[in-house]
Amino acid sequence: MMEPKSRAEELPTLYRAILDRVAQLESAGDRREAAKVRSDATAAYSRAWDDRCRRDLESLLRRADRPTAAERLLGRGRRRGLDRVIGRQQPRTAVAPER
């Protein structure tokens, strides 16, 4: 059985996922929502790394993960899901190129 992630591992992962989604929102033209999510995420991440911070970041990720109107029109409204970010995903492994 795998050990649960520590806050030192979990919170930066959540924050990075939020920033990745902010970039997608900006590229889709939803700059107002992107700015709000970024501001709220920065405020939460800058506080103490406790359960409240984790809950706030998870909530922000769920909010930001909703498809924008443009994404729905283009058929890109699939949910990326919080599960992918908080440990219910296959770990990515880097492979060094052979020399």
Rounded Cα–Cα distance for residues 19 and 59 (Å): 14
52-89: b (≥16 Cβ within 10 Å) or e = ebbebbbebbeebbebbeebeeeeeeeebebeebbeee
Q: Which residues neighbour 51 within 8 Å (Cβ) at sequence distance 6 or greater?
A: none
- Predicted TM-score (pTM) of the model is 0.68
Identity of residue 17: A
Q: Name the residue with tokens 């052979």.
A: 98
Q: Name the residue with tokens 């103490």.
A: 48
**Residue 90 pLDDT class (50, 70, 90 cuts):** very low
pLDDT in tens, 11-62: 999 999 999 999 999 998 889 999 999 999 999 999 999 999 999 999 999 9
Identity of residue 74: L
Nearest of 92, 82, 88, 27 to residue 60 by alpha carbon: 82
